[in-house]
């Protein structure tokens, strides 16, 4: 008669979060931001007044922006620094002073888009480098490509920015594999990026979302070649990052859960997934990826102590 309560206690003591503690994810701004195409990577202004997100149709991609008006969101429009190249994965600096995003635009800003090169394979126009655009008043400046130390190959993507300017992203390792990397920002420049050890070395890590104080990080993990990417959370410890803890089936429904971003409260997780709302027949629910949100409180409350 006491087996289930005892099991729940043991799971809590071991760091696992019981399914009953997890609120079901909800669609973010259905029919406005989350629409019939593919949307993802929701990057918010620090006060929550605006959101920047990627919108994809086929092989194309733009970064759109929407503004909060009361309890509603405005009709999205193309961000002023996007709309010509293939732009993806916006990430907002915690203080809102700049945004880092992914683009296939050439380093000089004109000419042909860059190709993606992996070994001997070349995919025309599908390269990805990280670019930074600074906030200027109520608008944005001219995007600037991050230095070669960060963009060490044609496949740098999925940025996340800590409060001290440090950058986490996916880039090329020395063996040409794609790996989670960390570039410290010091004295006004990015230092040489380092590979981040996170869990099983055989697992594929994608789309980091780091807390501003770097106390925790949410990533998407593919543990086997035919398995979908699932969201997991890892915590900073004196010994390094903890083993990522899967967020469970309630969050990881659908064939994939990716594009993690933290909301303005740093406790709400936004991600994209092809999961569907049962019984909902609206256009935004019929195909493609939508942006979803879920509270990280059950996991964060189990780790009150920060290193």
Does 243 score more than 80 pLDDT?
yes
The answer to the question of residue 160 being in a domain is yes
Whether residues 184 and 224 share a domain: the answer is: no
What per-residue confidence (pLDDT) applies to 15? 52
Whether residues 115 and 192 share a domain: the answer is: yes
Burial status of residue 55 (CB atoms within 10 A of its CB: 0-12, 13-18, 19 or more): buried
Whether residues 166 and 288 share a domain: the answer is: no
Tell me which of 150, 167, 196 is where a domain ends.
Answer: 196
The answer to the question of residue 145 being in a domain is yes
Q: Rg (Cα) of the chain, in Å, rounded?
A: 19
Which one, of 212, 206, 210, 87, lies nearest residue 158 by Cα? 206
Whether residues 172 and 241 share a domain: the answer is: no
For the stretch 206-238, pLDDT in tens is 999 999 999 999 999 998 888 899 999 999 999
Half-sphere exposure of 120 (CA within 13 A, CB side): 0
Distance CA 169, CA 137 (A): 27
3-class SS string, the chain: CCHHHHHHHHHHHCCCCCHHHCCCCEECCECCCECCCEEEEEEECCCCCEEEEEEEECCEEEEEEEEEECCEECCCEECCCCCCCCEEEEEECCCCCEEEEEECCCCCCCCCCCCEEECCEEECCCCEEEEEEEEECCEECCCEECCCCCCCCCECEEEEECCCCCEEEEEECCCCCEEEEEECEECCEECCCEECCCCCCCCEEEEEEECCCCCEEEEEEECCCCCCCEEEEEEEECCEECCCEECCCCCCCCCCEEEEEECCCCCEEEEEECCCCCCCCCHHHCCCCEEEEEECHHHHCCCCCCC
* pTM across the whole model: 0.91
Whether residues 262 and 151 share a domain: the answer is: no
In which band, very low, low, confident or very high, does the pLDDT at 200 lie, cut at 50, 70 and 90? confident
- Residue 182, domain CATH: 2.120.10.30
The answer to the question of residue 16 being in a domain is no
What per-residue confidence (pLDDT) applies to 4? 38
Whether residues 133 and 264 share a domain: the answer is: no
Structure tokens that stand for 230 in this block? 């699932």
The answer to the question of residue 18 being in a domain is no
The answer to the question of residue 76 being in a domain is yes
Whether residues 79 and 165 share a domain: the answer is: yes
Tell me which of 196, 220, 254 is where a domain ends.
Answer: 196
What per-residue confidence (pLDDT) applies to 304? 65
Those residues with Cβ within 8 angstroms of residue 203's Cβ, 6 or more apart along the chain or in another chain:
221, 222, 223
Boundaries of domain holding 224: 202-307
Q: Is the dihedral of CA 250, 253, 257, 261 positive or negative?
A: negative
The answer to the question of residue 290 being in a domain is yes
Query: In this structure, are residues 172 and 156 in contact, taking their beta carbons and an 8 Å threshold?
Result: yes
Query: In this structure, are residues 33 and 76 in contact, taking their beta carbons and an 8 Å threshold?
Result: yes
For the stretch 58-79, pLDDT in tens is 777 899 999 999 989 999 999 9
Whether residues 173 and 104 share a domain: the answer is: yes
Work out how many domains the chain is built from and give that number: 2
Whether residues 171 and 214 share a domain: the answer is: no
The neighbour count for residue 280, using CB atoms within 10 Å, is 11
Distance CA 82, CA 89 (A): 12
Query: In this structure, are residues 295 and 251 in contact, taking their beta carbons and an 8 Å threshold?
Result: no
Whether residues 210 and 173 share a domain: the answer is: no
The answer to the question of residue 11 being in a domain is no
Whether residues 177 and 229 share a domain: the answer is: no
For the stretch 171-191, pLDDT in tens is 999 888 999 999 999 999 999
pLDDT cut 70: percent of the chain above it: 93
Whether residues 174 and 258 share a domain: the answer is: no
In which band, very low, low, confident or very high, does the pLDDT at 192 lie, cut at 50, 70 and 90? very high
Tell me which of 174, 196, 218 is where a domain ends.
Answer: 196
For the stretch 103-132, pLDDT in tens is 999 988 788 999 988 888 898 888 999 999
Q: What are phi and psi of 200, to 5 degrees?
A: -60, 125
Mean pLDDT of 75-89: 95
Mean pLDDT of 277-295: 89
The answer to the question of residue 143 being in a domain is yes
């Amino acid at each position: 008669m006491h087996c289930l309560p005892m099991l729940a206690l043991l799971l809590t003591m071991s760091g696992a979060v019981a399914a009953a503690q997890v609120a079901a994810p909800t669609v973010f701004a259905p029919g406005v931001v989350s629409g019939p195409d593919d949307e993802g990577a929701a990057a918010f202004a620090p006060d929550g007044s605006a959101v920047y997100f990627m919108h994809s149709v086929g092989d194309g991609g733009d970064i759109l922006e929407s503004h909060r008006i009361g309890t509603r969101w405005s009709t999205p429009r193309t961000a002023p620094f996007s709309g010509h190249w293939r732009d993806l994965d916006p990430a907002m600096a915690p203080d809102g002073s700049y945004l880092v995003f992914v683009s296939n635009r050439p380093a000089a800003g004109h000419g042909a888009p860059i190709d993606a090169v992996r070994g001997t394979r070349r995919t025309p126009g599908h390269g990805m480098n990280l670019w930074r655009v600074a906030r200027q008043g109520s608008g944005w400046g001219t995007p600037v490509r991050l230095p070669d130390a960060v963009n060490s190959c044609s496949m740098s993507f999925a940025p996340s920015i800590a409060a001290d300017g440090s950058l986490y992203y996916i880039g090329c390792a020395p063996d040409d594999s794609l790996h989670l990397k960390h570039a410290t920002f010091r004295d006004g420049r990015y230092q040489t990026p380092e590979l981040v050890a996170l869990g099983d070395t055989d697992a594929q890590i994608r789309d980091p979302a780091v807390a501003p104080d770097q106390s925790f990080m949410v990533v998407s993990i593919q543990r086997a070649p035919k398995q979908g990417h699932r969201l997991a959370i890892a915590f900073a410890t004196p010994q390094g990052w903890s083993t990522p803890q899967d967020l469970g089936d309630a969050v990881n429904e659908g064939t994939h859960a990716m594009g993690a971003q933290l909301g303005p409260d740093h406790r709400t997780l936004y991600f994209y997934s092809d999961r569907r709302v049962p019984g909902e027949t609206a256009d935004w629910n019929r195909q493609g990826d939508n942006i979803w949100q879920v509270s990280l409180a059950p996991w964060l409350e189990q780790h009150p102590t920060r290193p």
